[in-house]
Amino acid sequence: MDNNYEVLVIGGGPAGLSAALYLARYKRRTALFDTRQGRAYWYQTNHNVLGFPGGIAARRLCELGRRQLADYPHVTIHEQRVNDIRMVGDTFVAIGPDEEWCGRAVIFCTGVVDHYPEFEGWQQYVGRSMFWCITCDGYDSQGRRVVVVGNTNAAAAEALQLQRFTDQLTVLTNSRENHITLEFQERLRRARIPLLHDRIATVRGRNGQFEALLTVDGRCLELDWLFNQQGATPRSELAARLGVALDAHGYILTDTEQKTTVPGVYAAGDVTRLYSHQIVTAAHEGGQAASAANYYLYPPELKDD
């Protein structure tokens, strides 16, 4: 099999699919690798993606993206994990379980791994009644009983910000340690938002809808929705192996064209920064990264800079 490509796109969520689509339109021979284990493959309906009255499920958006790519025979989707990557001369070599693929440029669209509270059966709640992002789901929390889970100021701040949607809020640290500062504890107190330093033992609910959290100290917290603020880890380890610079939180550093600190290496989507983890941001950055990679691949005599 000919495993030589112009561009390797690692990750096939909104960022990677958008990058591959732009590369398809630039007529670049492209390989897209995806394991469907990112945020866009959880159950979730997006109501802030322009053009979809009533919202669109992220999974459906990805399926539509894959169908769109099927029109371009020079783009190949490999349903495979890239386990390693290295540089050999001016070629990037991506290494899978049984195969290797070569490319002259690479775009990392690998997303993040969320740290959800891991009670039994937690997966069925993600995107149905367990969320993390005010931008995405704050609006629909109106009038609901919401528990914000996390032991840092980020959890306290999210609860304070959610007040514009609901006044039935509780913060639960779900940890042996409480890192919420006295200043934020005082802000919660003034807002009459209870702060409970306790951990989830089990959950009562059905079909992905919470009814109650039962805690280690014997509390029963009735709730409709949970907002998780236990953080996320960027999947940036492959990029780091190429020597790409990361920020203090492990996100891949990029400029406004999605270039990393290593020539020929680009990054897009949630893996590039701590904030603005959104479908449209990921799609925008994917397109931007593809355009920069396309330009990088032109021979010097075709460039005007």
Ligand X SMILES: Cc1cc2nc3c(=O)[nH]c(=O)nc-3n(C[C@H](O)[C@H](O)[C@H](O)COP(=O)(O)OP(=O)(O)OC[C@H]3O[C@@H](n4cnc5c(N)ncnc54)[C@H](O)[C@@H]3O)c2cc1C
- Interface residue list for ligand X (CB under 6 A): 10-16, 33-42, 44, 46-48, 58, 81-82, 109-111, 126-127, 131, 133, 136, 235, 238, 269-270, 277-280, 282
Q: Residue 236 in contact with residue 251, Cβ under 8 Å?
A: yes
User: Can you tell me the distance from the alpha carbon of 192 to that of 159, in angstroms, rounded to the nearest whole number?
Assistant: 11
At closest approach, how far in Å is the CB of 239 from ligand X?
Answer: 10
Nearer to ligand X (CB atom), residue 46 or residue 294: 46
At closest approach, how far in Å is the CB of 68 from ligand X?
Answer: 15
At closest approach, how far in Å is the CB of 180 from ligand X?
Answer: 24
Nearer to ligand X (CB atom), residue 104 or residue 277: 277
Q: 266 in helix, strand or coil?
A: strand
At closest approach, how far in Å is the CB of 204 from ligand X?
Answer: 21
Q: Rounded to whole angstroms, what are the CA distances from 30 to 74, 215, 289?
A: 6, 50, 13
Beta pairing class for 225-228 and 232-234: unpaired
At closest approach, how far in Å is the CB of 183 from ligand X?
Answer: 30
Nearer to ligand X (CB atom), residue 193 or residue 283: 283
Q: Of 64, 265, 48, 26, nearest to 135 (Cα)?
A: 48
Structure tokens at 219: 């509390």
Nearer to ligand X (CB atom), residue 181 or residue 233: 233
Report CA 225 to chain centroid distance, whole Å.
20
Nearer to ligand X (CB atom), residue 67 or residue 192: 67
